[in-house]
Structure 1
Amino acid sequence: MVSELINANPVIYGKKERRVRSVPSAADENAVEPIDQEEIFDHIRDIKDPEHPYSLEELKVISEDAIEVDDVRGHVRVTFTPTVEHCSMATVIGLCLRVKLLRSLPSRFKVDIRVAPGSHATEASVNKQLNDKERVAAALENPNVVEMVDECLTPSYE
């Protein structure tokens, strides 16, 4: 984790109660449930912040309301809000969101990650980096970046 914190005292919020998923019966085992906003949120809610021992959900960096899903077209958009306007970890957070969803979703989905409008000083630059395939691929070739992303994606058992 980072030694010098940009936001040393973040506000911590409660977690939303988890949805209980039904197990398909034998008759339904070939049925495919559409992927919805709540399912996407369940995939990303426990990603740890790179600077703090809290999840992105607890810091309100992500919320279910900021997720758009078009299952038919295979498109997911996640808009996240850094805790401070000059968050140096915004691209790492976005990369964590992208990697988690790419590992979790069927390959037919296109993932779009965005910083909430007006929430970051270099919003356009961060959005460009997070949605450029070559830049993402280059970042994921850097062992230090991959280690940081994997650390954020490692589940914590509370």
Structure 2
Amino acid sequence: MNLFEVAHFVREKPMKLYILTVLHHIRDIKDPEHPYSLEELKVITEDAIEVDDNNSHVRVTFTPTVEHCSMATVIGLCLRVKLIRCLPPRYKVDIRVAPGTHATEAAVNKQLNDKERVAAALENPNLVDMVDECLAPSYA
């Protein structure tokens, strides 16, 4: 893409650019149980990212690999931590399980979007180590 094409793309599709930026930040997060990224497992997709730049809001909806995925909250926490580290602080990050894809969807969504619960989770050294491992760059 040349400079003119990029300028045209940005002018015509700014939301698409924001969505691709968010996807770029989270695409390589590793699944806690599999040797693949969340993008490779189709846990996250471009279509499941919403960005409202005017209201500084980002929503990522993810689809666990199985309905009883025991790592759904860890995956959501990884997504939240990565976006908090990468996005400007003005953005509110909302992480959700795709409707109908997890047995305890409401409970997972509540945990992932409650500031106190997230803060408490990030005080657990074992959980922080697991999140950091999922966020570590892959050199394969």
| TM-score, structure 2 as length reference | 0.88
Quick one: which of 62, 66, 74 aligns to 1:80? 62
Q: Specify the alignment match of 1:93 in structure 2.
A: 75
Residue in 1 aligned with 2:94? 112
Match of 2:39 among 57, 65, 68: 57
Return the match for 2:110 from 121, 128, 148. 128
Aligned partner (choices 23, 41, 53) of residue 41 of structure 1? 23
More helix by share: 2
What are the superposed Cα offsets for residues 111-137 of structure 1, whole Å, 9 maximum, x if unpaired? 000000000000000000000000000
Structure 1: gaps spanning 5 or more residues: 1-19, 23-32
The gaps in structure 2 that reach 5 residues or longer are 4-13
CA distance in 2: counterparts of 1:72 and 1:48, whole angstroms:
30
Query: What is the rounded CA distance, in whole Å, between the counterparts of 1:157 and 1:67 in structure 2?
Result: 26
Identity across the alignment (%): 80
Distance 2:139 2:97 in 1: 28
Q: Deviations over 1:24-47 (max 9, x none)?
A: xxxxxxxxx886100000000000
Count of equivalent residues = 128
The CA RMSD over aligned residues, in Å, is 1.5
Paired letter, 1:55: S
Distance, in Å, in 1 between the alignment partners of 2:138 and 2:79 is: 16
Q: Are 1:138 and 2:138 counterparts?
A: no
Provide the C-alpha distance between the structure 1 equivalents of 2:99 and 2:139, rounded to a whole number of angstroms.
33
* Alpha-carbon separation, structure 2, partners of 1:40 and 1:71: 12
TM-score, normalising length: structure 1? 0.78
Alpha-carbon offset, residue 157 of structure 1 = 1.5
Mapped to 1, the partners of 2:52 and 2:25 lie a distance apart of: 16
